[in-house]
Amino acid sequence: MKKQSYGISVITAVCLSLGFAASAHTQKTDTQAHSSAPSAGHKGEVIMKHATGPFDVKLNPQTDDKVGDPTLGRMSIDKQYHGDLEATSKGQMLTAMSADVKGSGVYVAVERVNGSLHGRTGTFALHHTGIMTRGVPQLSITVVPDSGTGQLIGLTGKMDITIAEGKHSYDFEYTLPEAK
């Protein structure tokens, strides 16, 4: 039991480290942030939109005694988004870490988001891939293709996460067909 508890603690630390390191890695300059704002375009042109705000997240370890490997883990995700995206989400995360090399591990996650994006309601799914190689992070969060429902049908995009002073925030760059 102690070995499993230690493994989950380490996996949680790896996940949080991915997020903390990703915050420094994915921050945009003022020029980049302004360039993604919506602008008037030609008919049929894809216009990149931008949504930002804070979010709260709860990760709960899901134990499976049959796995028997403390370097593997699974967690449930429960989020509450605020700001331009007012939504809740539920998801699952799988993690793996190196047993021998400190600061190396990965996670993949999928979450279903349900709410309102700049006033348009529906659901969509996000796919996460986080890789940390000896303390160097890579984080990719993208909208699952064709996962949008309701007024979010056709949504595409990517999300960056920032963690500063223990607070989480998102920066979501997306495209969405005009409302009919």
**pLDDT reading at 177 higher than 50:** yes
Query: Nearest 5°: phi and psi at 153?
Result: -60, 135
Chain position carrying tokens 């799914």: 125
Which residues does residue 79 pair with via DSSP β-bridges, in sequence order? 57, 89
Convert the pLDDT of each residue in 92-128 to its tens digit.
999 999 999 999 999 999 999 999 999 999 999 999 9
Task: Give whichever of 21-25, 64-68, 71-75, 147-151 has the largest mean pLDDT.
Answer: 147-151
Query: Nearest 5°: phi and psi at 145?
Result: -55, 135
Reported pTM: 0.78
- 96 CB-contact burial (10 Å; exposed 0-12 / middle 13-18 / buried 19+): middle
Model pLDDT, residue 70? 83
Convert the pLDDT of each residue in 39-94 to its tens digit.
444 555 668 999 999 999 999 998 876 667 888 999 999 999 999 999 999 999 99
